[in-house]
Each structure stands twice: as structure tokens, then as C-alpha cells.
Amino acid sequence: MAEFLLGLASSLATTALVAAVGWLLSRRARRLVLRLLGRATGLGVERVYRTQRSASTDIAADIPRGEWLRVLAGRGGELTRETFQPLWTGTEWPLRAVEILLPDPEPGRDTWLAAREDELRARDPGFRPGLLGEQVRLNAAYLAEAAKGRDHCEIRFYNLPNLFRVVMTDKVAYLTLYLSTAHGRNSPCIVARRPGHLYDFAARVFASAWEAGRPAPREPVRRP
């Protein structure tokens, strides 16, 4: 009986090990195929994450490897958390420039931010009208305070379709495609390396929004 149990345990352990190795190999194989296809087509796609939040560790690792950072956010919540904290807490500014775009929370109900809020409220009953704008204002106020003394950090507001997020350096771009049925953190994220068409597209999107954006106030807006 003891030999049977020992043999069973050994078989289960071997099966689990083979399954784990197979899963790791398949993951690497998927990334290799994507990378090869990205190079062959010129798109430059390196990998895809099922959710934006699963890319956070790699984003945090890629930020200090770049010369500059550009972020077009859906509301800016992650900019205040662990992924980007080294930017605000470090004694030395690690990048030559940081440019941040947040949705404009002020124009009123007939905006792209309001349209995104309506999508979220259909799935999340906690999203009352105006909540998304309040969150953007709070995040903007936090970033304005955190960036004080950082001469090469600028924050602007944009009023464009709230359908994606861009985080990019001079080497890599993370492009999240917001699902209409989920929060941004649960939407898929595509990673594109430079050079490549997808990286260039992300750069064009950011540049267009940046040129059309308005400077965010350096002091928090006092609400009545």
C-alpha cells in the first residue's frame, strides 16, 4: 500500500511538472511567434497581456530604461500607485522628460469622458454620474503635487475618445484597448517595440492629443 501511494504521488508530481513545463514552453512559444510575426509584418508587436494590470511589473521595469516617458491615461489611477511611485519618491529624477495626458474632467456631460463613464456604469453600479471626472481631478491634483520640483514633468488634459491607454518610452509602448464591458485594468494590453508600425501609431496618437490638450492647473481645483 505504501509503495502504491508513493508511486501515485510520484506520478502526480511528474504529471504536474510536465504540465508546468509545457505551460511555460507554450507561453514562450506564443511570445516567440508574436515577436516573429511582429518583425515580419513590421508591426513590432512583442507580447500581449490578457489584462492591463498583469503588465504593471514589466512597465515598472521598462520606465527607468528609457530616456523619457509619455502616458495617455484613461483616468490616471495607476500613476499614483506602485508602478509609477519611483518617479515621485526618488531623490533623483531618472528621466529627461515626463509628459502625462489625463481626460479633461471639466467640459460637461457631453464629452468623451462622460461616454466612457456611461459604459462603466452599465457594468459597475457604483459609478454614479460625475464620479469618473472626480477621480480624474483627484489624480491630477496628486500628480501636480508629486511633480513639484520636477522641472521636466508636464501634465495636460485631453478631450478625445476614452478608448485606450498609452504608456511609452523611447524604446517600447504599452497600448491598452479598453473594452466597453470592463474597467481598463481588466482590458487587454499590447506591447510594441521600436521600430514598428504599432509603436509609431501610439506615438502619433499621443502627439496629436498632446498638441490639442490644455495645461492642467498646477494647484488643485477647489470645488464649490
CATH number of the domain at 59, please: 3.30.870.10
Does pLDDT of 39 surpass 70? no
Identify the H or E element spanning 45. Answer: strand 45-49
Look up the domain containing 54 and give its range. 44-215
Number of domains making up the chain: 2
Grid cell at residue 171: 524604446
Banded pLDDT at 91 (limits 50, 70, 90)? low
156 in a domain, yes or no? yes
18 and 117 in one domain?
no
224 in a domain, yes or no? no
More confident residue, 25 or 161: 161
179 and 207 in one domain?
yes
Q: Is 210 exposed, middle or buried (0-12, 13-18, 19+ CB in 10 A)?
A: middle
Name the DSSP letter for residue 217.
P
179 and 115 in one domain?
yes
pLDDT, average across residues 151-162? 89
223 in a domain, yes or no? no
171 and 77 in one domain?
yes
Range scoring the smallest mean pLDDT among 29-38, 48-57, 202-211: 29-38
Does pLDDT of 99 surpass 90? yes
70 and 133 in one domain?
yes
pLDDT, average across residues 82-102? 86
Taking the C-alpha atoms of residue 183 and residue 215, their distance in angstroms, rounded to an integer, is 26
Using the Cα atoms of residue 114, residue 115, residue 116 and residue 119 in order, give the sign of their dihedral: positive
pLDDT, average across residues 22-46? 60
Banded pLDDT at 30 (limits 50, 70, 90)? low
Name the DSSP letter for residue 180.
T
